[in-house]
Amino acid sequence: MRAVVLDAEGRPRLEEVPPPAGPTMRVLACGLCGSDVEKLEHGPAGTVLGHEVVARRADGARVALIHHLPCGACPRCRAGHETTCDSFAAPTIVPGGFAEEVEVTDGVQLPDSCDDARGTYVEPLACVLRGAERVPHGVILVVGHGFIGRLFAAVLRRRGDEVFVSDARPERTGPAPDGPVDAAVLCAPAAPLEGVAAGGTVLVFAAAGQFDLEDVYRRELTLVGSRSATPRHLAEAVALLPELDLPASTVLPLERFAEGLELYRSGRALKVVFTP
């Protein structure tokens, strides 16, 4: 089968590779995530990236694949930190989504109204829904207005928050809030935290750079982290997806992976989805 495989320098190349040994599912679409882009140049040779996957089950149903599974029983799972569970690190999508076939694995069924490309939004939206649970209601600044920032803005507005957005790219930035905000969501490295009101909350949702902990102490800020999603959030994302107004994706065949990567990196495409 064809798959996009990292070479010894971590560069992605479309190659012919053996399909998984056991029963497989046909990949219909796979979204390119910022975390995939981070892994380029780092991953060991032979890595197949891609975890925002829509595939077809043997019974014909289209499913958004569950990309990692917490055990659900350990103390960290029970405390709501499922993505730090020891079981969570094991990949469930083998070899990875930028391929024609993957090993049979669990997924959440998509309604017919949701096309394949839109179905790849289920995984990132699930991550955002889990993060949003840690953000109090109120006036919220979303830092980083790429695809993930837009998902956050849509989810927070839908639940009734007043949302402002900022981005290092001027064309993606919105009007600044007229006063301190109740919470900030960091989808990109943040400016200092002085825009967050005393007693406010900062959700760290990306590699976010350095904080002045003095600020956390003096102004009693709450710092919370959230990373990835659980099967419950994936199911919630499938249900919510039709109700959100989200950016369209650029859909390209796997042969045009390098072009899609460049569109994403340059900011000309907010979201790129590949179809095998």
**Comparison of 74 and 216: residue with beta carbon closer to Zn ion:** 74
Crossing angle of helices 122-132 and 147-158, in 10° steps, is 50
Structure tokens at 209: 């750079």
Closest CA to 201 of 224, 227, 171, 217: 224
Which of 20-28, 82-90, 172-180, 245-253 is the region at the interface with Zn ion (rule: CB under 5 A)?
82-90
Q: How far is the CB of 123 from Zn ion (least distance, A)?
A: 6
Helix (H, G, I), strand (E, B) or coil at 10: coil
Minimum CB separation of residue 30 from Zn ion in Å reads 10
Alpha carbons 228 and 142: distance in angstroms, whole number = 18
Is 33 among the residues that bind Zn ion (CB under 5 A)?
yes
Minimal distance, residue 55 CB to Zn ion, in Å: 16
The percent helix, strand, coil of the chain (3-state, each to 5) is: 30, 25, 45
Q: Which residue, 164 or 257, is less far from Zn ion as judged by CB?
A: 257
Selected binder of Zn ion within 1, 17, 69, 74 (CB under 5 A): 74
The yes or no reply on residue 108 touching Zn ion (CB under 5 A) is: no
77 binds Zn ion (CB under 5 A): yes
Rounded Cα distance between 135 and 143, Å, is 14
DSSP of 154-177: HHHHHTT-EEEEE-SSGGG--PPP
* DSSP bridge pairs for 107: 65
Task: Name which of 6 and 196 has its Cβ closer to Zn ion.
Answer: 6
CB of 36 vs Zn ion, minimal distance in Å: 7
Choose between 147 and 164: whose C-beta lies nearer to Zn ion.
147
Residue 261 interacts with Zn ion (CB under 5 A)?
A: no
Please state, in angstroms and rounded to a whole number, the distance separating the CA atoms of residues 23 and 94. Answer: 11
Interaction between residue 139 and Zn ion (CB under 5 A) = no
238 lies in the binding site for Zn ion (CB under 5 A): no
Give CA–CA dist 156/139, Å, rounded.
Answer: 10
Which member of 48, 85, 122, 202 binds Zn ion (CB under 5 A)?
Answer: 85
Comparing CA positions, the residue from 22, 37, 176 lying closest to residue 98 is 37
* 71 binds Zn ion, rule: CB under 5 A: yes
Q: Give the x-and-dash track for 146-185 against Zn ion (CB under 5 A).
A: ----------------------------------------
Integer Cα distance of 188 and 143 in angstroms:
6
How is residue 210 written in tokens?
Answer: 């350095």
- The nearest distance, CB 229 to Zn ion, in angstroms, is 9
Residues that bind Zn ion (CB under 5 A): 33, 70-71, 74, 77, 85
